[in-house]
Amino acid sequence: MGRWYTLCRRLTALAAVFMMVFCFVIPVSAKTTENGVAVYVSDNESTFDPGGATYSRIICLKNSGSANGTLLCTYDQLKNVTVDMDDGTSVSKQVYPIYKSTDNGDNWQLISNVYDKEYGLLRTSQPCLYELPVQVGDMPAGTILLAGNIFDDDPYTQSRIVLYKSMDGGYTWTFLSEVDNGGACIYDPSTTSTTTTVWEPFLGMSESGDLVCYYSDERQKSDGVLQAVSLKTSSDGVNWSGLTNVAAINNTSDRPGMITVTKLPNGKYMATYEMVNRPSLSKNNAVVYCKFSDDGVTWDAGSLGTRVALADGRGIGSSPYVKWIDAGGPNGMVVISAKWGTDSSDSISGGQNFYVNYNLGRGSWERLPMAVTYDYNDLAGGYFSGFSQSFDVSPDNSTLYQATNVENFSNAKTIDGVSYNLNDVRVGTLPLKGSIYEAEKATITNAQAGNAVDASNGLEVQYINESDSSVDFQNIKVENSGNYNILVRYSNGEGIEASHMVTVNGTQIGTVNYPVTVNWDRYLWSGFSCYLNAGTNSIKFSKDVGFAELDCIQVSETSNDFAIINKNSGKYLEIKSALTNEGAESGQWGITDHWCQKWNFEDAGNGSYRIKNMNSGLYLDIESESTVDGAKAIQSSYAERDSQIWLLEETEEGYCHIVNKNSGKYLEVFSNSTEDGASVGQWGITDYGCQEWMLVKEGIH
């Protein structure tokens, strides 16, 4: 049952709540659980727009000395604030509020309001926060920049992209420059649009060290371009270059917008943007695309780019935000947030996951559960919830901070005769050092796995309803004994708090509680800490009070494991027969979910890695340190020799060569075989797919 219950079962659950006299509640983190922490609660009296707040922006300082780790957050605050002007008058207008946290997002303080004093404009929108990583002009590294679009009140006549700077961590601000200006701030994506607005600034650095402002430009309609995403550069933040296009599609239909850009470790730059009027003018779901540049300023502007999608064709849409993070694997991880997910035909479908890629942004993408969830399609009573969110990471790349706007069901307001749940701004955290274990891959007793569009790996365990129902994660592996934080992703649409009994390695340690979620399709995190032994462990969740469905768990501070898939065969690199002895051969096989198909990349310096098999704890090696074609790939104990060192060479479509440092030869499946059990070894480069491999993480546990 799980989602729909009989009256008898509801009464049984309520009786269990009233009869229970003791329940051991395991402490959890308020930042990852409870849907994050509120930075701002929309003002029910003064808010003039049903969104309440949108366009959340967060940065974590990394170039500011002793202030490193400080979080700054702003957003599009849809109300007026009375502010003092330089001439001594007071004016009611919109501002960019700046909030600060010095305790990883637990508590927030409003430290300043930024607003227009130069042009006499009343509206602020579309903020971008940026910390300079290097000196630009007379601004040292650590200077905080705020870009935004300011415009007049109705009737609208102009839009201006402006830049402010703060030299004291966000407490005081001065106007720096105007980047560009355009016509009335009016949204009209139709093919007959005549608007000339400039929109949606985003700041970054070019390869040459210039400051770059990327933004949307509607002033190229005479060239058949409905809207372009463009850029200007500056060596001092004051004087700006001419306009260059990133994407300008000459068909009077496609409308790229809301561009964000990140630099990858291979030196390339990656841009993401929504393509308004995709997949069609009538089904406009603002599908997300990406493209690449060698320097951040030179792009193939006429190219549509590549649709961001999972292997099964699911994509994302609306207001993307992209960032490369030095965590998660040998290539780090490219992470994209967007307002909603889409199915393979680009209809709106879900929206509670980041999209991640561990192969430098190429090839298919995977899901990573969000820290904070929201009404992605505005059907639960929100309005533009999750629109143009953002995220950043801690200085040590261990924690992701997500800032987004979330509908507040206890804060409704009627505007133009319609009641809306105003959005709050919330910040949640997600640990990046840990392994996700899927509930559907656990041992399931008297319950069942079912499809769920927003579940990690697309499946969850439902119907955990009976006295003997349980989900037993029997294959949790850690290298060292000690206490570990366990996060549990769940849904509970029953309307009362639920719980599961938790048993670790055969000993019941207490219960984990599941506060109510908006519905059975909406996820939150709960959590607890427990002691795990070095090696393999079991964590079992059993029916207790109420009802909840399980998506996955994350075990903290564990190794980042990958499956390594061959391009030619689609099969998985493994140690044959799951052997654990020295000298056992590697081969390929279809997916088995066994640890012999899971590998950890250990940094060996200078961009190279040791590749450890997670079943045996031994390392991928070349037999007898051979340098000849056809030598077998085996496993052996750690040794200071180059035959255990491997380099990754990017190829295309998300694949790579795995090159042995000692021999310079390429890991391959012999004879281009596609058969289970085929041997793996080394050979000189052949350009065959049997020498190309892809790293995959989602769903391997």
- CB neighbour list of residue 192: distance below 8 Å, 6 or more residues apart: none
Beta strands in 79-173 (DSSP E): 81-84, 90-93, 96-101, 109-114, 123-131, 144-151, 159-166
For the chain, give the number of residues.
701
Lookup result for tokens 């001092």? 236
Backbone φ and ψ of 595, nearest 5°: -65, -20
Helix (H, G, I), strand (E, B) or coil at 566: strand
Q: Compute the distance between CA of residue 589 and CA of residue 570 in angstroms, rounded to an integer.
A: 9
- CB neighbour list of residue 672: distance below 8 Å, 6 or more residues apart: 568, 688, 689, 690
- CB neighbour list of residue 655: distance below 8 Å, 6 or more residues apart: 359, 362, 363, 567, 692, 693, 694
Q: Identify the pLDDT of residue 26.
A: 37
Q: Compute the distance between CA of residue 119 and CA of residue 537 in angstroms, rounded to an integer.
A: 64
Radius of gyration of the chain (CA): 26
Beta bridge partners of 658: 648
Contact status, residue 279 vs residue 346, Cβ threshold 8 Å: yes
Question: What letter would DSSP give residue 254?
Answer: -
492 CA to centre of own chain: 23
Burial of 497 (0-12, 13-18, 19+ CB in 10 A): middle
Lookup result for tokens 């098999």? 613
Q: What is the pTM of this model?
A: 0.94
HSE (side-chain half, CA atoms, 13 Å) at 281:
9
Burial of 299 (0-12, 13-18, 19+ CB in 10 A): buried
| Structural domains of the chain ordered from first start | 7-29+434-556 (2.60.120.260), 37-431 (2.120.10.10), 561-696 (2.80.10.50)
Angular region, 382: left φ>0, alpha ψ -120 to 50, beta rest: beta
Lookup result for tokens 């999209």? 355
Count CB neighbours of 662 within 10 A: 17
Q: Compute the distance between CA of residue 58 and CA of residue 39 in angstroms, rounded to an integer.
A: 11
Q: Is the dihedral of CA 271, 273, 278, 281 positive or negative?
A: negative
Q: Compute the distance between CA of residue 658 and CA of residue 648 in angstroms, rounded to an integer.
A: 5
Helices (H), 152-275: none
Q: Identify the pLDDT of residue 652.
A: 87
- Buried b / exposed e along 331-367 (16+ C-beta atoms within 10 A): bbbbbbbbbbbbeeebebbbbbbbbbbbbbbbbbbbb
Q: Compute the distance between CA of residue 556 and CA of residue 297 in angstroms, rounded to an integer.
A: 39
Burial of 249 (0-12, 13-18, 19+ CB in 10 A): buried
Q: Is the dihedral of CA 128, 129, 131, 136 positive or negative?
A: positive
Helix (H, G, I), strand (E, B) or coil at 47: strand
pLDDT along the chain (701 residues), means of 10: 31 31 37 92 93 97 97 97 93 97 96 97 97 98 98 94 98 98 95 96 98 98 97 98 98 96 97 95 94 98 97 97 96 97 96 97 97 92 93 96 96 90 96 95 98 97 97 95 96 96 97 96 96 97 97 91 97 98 98 96 95 97 98 98 97 95 98 98 96 96 93
Q: Identify the pLDDT of residue 404.
A: 98
Burial of 558 (0-12, 13-18, 19+ CB in 10 A): buried
Q: Compute the distance between CA of residue 696 and CA of residue 693 in angstroms, rounded to an integer.
A: 10
Q: Compute the distance between CA of residue 316 and CA of residue 289 in angstroms, rounded to an integer.
A: 9
What share of residues in the chain are helix, strand, coil (percent, to 5)?
5, 50, 45
DSSP for 174-203 reads: EEEEEEEEES------STT-----EEEEEE
HSE (side-chain half, CA atoms, 13 Å) at 391:
31
